[in-house]
Amino acid sequence: MFTHNGKKNGYIVTTVAVSTLFLGALSSCQKTNTPTEKLNIDERGRNIATNNGDITPYPSVLELFTCKPSDVAFVAAHRGTHESSKYPENTVESLQALHENGVQFAEIDVARLKDGTQFLFHDGTWDLRSTGTGPITMTTWEQSQQIFLKDTNGKITSIRPSSFADILAFAKDKIYLEIDFQPSVDEAKVLNSIRDADMTDQVILISHNAEQALRLYKLAPKMALSVGIFTPGDIKKMEDLGIPTNIMTVWTGEKQVPDDLAKALRDKKIPIIVGSFDLDDILQASGDFTPYTNFAIHPDLVVSDFAFDAQETLQIKGEDKSRLDACLKANK
């Protein structure tokens, strides 16, 4: 069983998964005080209009990892938001804020309501993170739109739950998504929604154990898949299941990646994902975020509870950005 003991239960990863114009867009996102696309959401929160047609198509997430210089890392926002912010987790609004602050990945939780609507929510009940009460599976979409979400400080906001369709519509060519499947969902239907939104290359599927990893691979053999690997020997176990390394990414836990494991994964060209949750709290207390740099020596993707701060420290720039630019342009 792959396990995760961070302060927010349930992040165990399966990862799914340019031109100069593309990276120009990424670099412009790093100007944290500059507004980008404005989002229009109707009363029910389902119909979204963006200017995605003006955005250069993103490369696949696996291509992005392949082109990334080995000594830098991307940042992912755990539950799709930044702790201690006004943005509730797992919402279109929180993803918009990530995009505006240059965070290129979001880990999100997909659940299902009583009427079958796929939407974003982590918990099985409404009580802790919203004005709602009781199990989410007893609520219809229409009823959910009478519920207001709480921000990361527990304050009630005017933001309602977001449908998965809205999330996919906003994220297209703006942000990569790590998809965590909550117990209420039908995995096959979630994968069909991803296909319908033409987002298959921009997602990372999260698996919690070997059985789920194999199941997701069979359902979506070309999507990037993240599996739990904690020793070099675990790589062969995944290969023996029939999961190819060329679609594989790995979750290695919440500590710095051991050198021997990093080498074994690098030899197989498998991207490395690590959570910085414990480090996040330490750095918030100290106010010094430079240790993120050392933490990110081996990983390709650092999943953080404080993504804005991690992004500011780990943003790819200078020679590293030029190398990434050139590689993506050559592969276009």
- Global pTM value: 0.85
Contact between residue 108 and residue 177 where contact means Cβ atoms under 8 Å apart: yes
Contact between residue 167 and residue 67 where contact means Cβ atoms under 8 Å apart: no
State residue 11's pLDDT score: 40
C-alpha dihedral sign at 166, 168, 173, 179: positive
- Asked whether residue 3 is assigned to any structural domain, the reply reads no
- Cα–Cα separations (whole angstroms), residue 53 to 42, 48, 105, 108, 325: 20, 13, 20, 24, 22
Contact between residue 311 and residue 75 where contact means Cβ atoms under 8 Å apart: yes
133-148 pLDDT tens trace: 999 999 999 999 999 9
Task: Tell me the CATH number at 294.
Answer: 3.20.20.190
- The residue segments making up the domain with residue 94 are 20-331
- Asked whether residue 237 is assigned to any structural domain, the reply reads yes
Q: Which amino acid is at 62?
A: L
Beta strands (DSSP E) in the chain are: 40-41, 48-49, 74-77, 105-112, 118-120, 176-181, 203-206, 224-228, 248-251, 272-275, 301-304
- Asked whether residue 30 is assigned to any structural domain, the reply reads yes
In a 10 Å sphere around its CB, with 0-12 CB exposed, 13-18 middle and 19+ buried, how is residue 216 labelled?
A: buried
- Asked whether residue 205 is assigned to any structural domain, the reply reads yes
C-alpha dihedral sign at 325, 330, 66, 215: positive
- Asked whether residue 266 is assigned to any structural domain, the reply reads yes
153-172 pLDDT tens trace: 999 999 999 999 999 999 99
Residue 38: pLDDT band with limits 50, 70, 90: very low
- Asked whether residue 7 is assigned to any structural domain, the reply reads no
- Asked whether residue 13 is assigned to any structural domain, the reply reads no
Contact between residue 67 and residue 58 where contact means Cβ atoms under 8 Å apart: no
Number of domains in the chain: 1
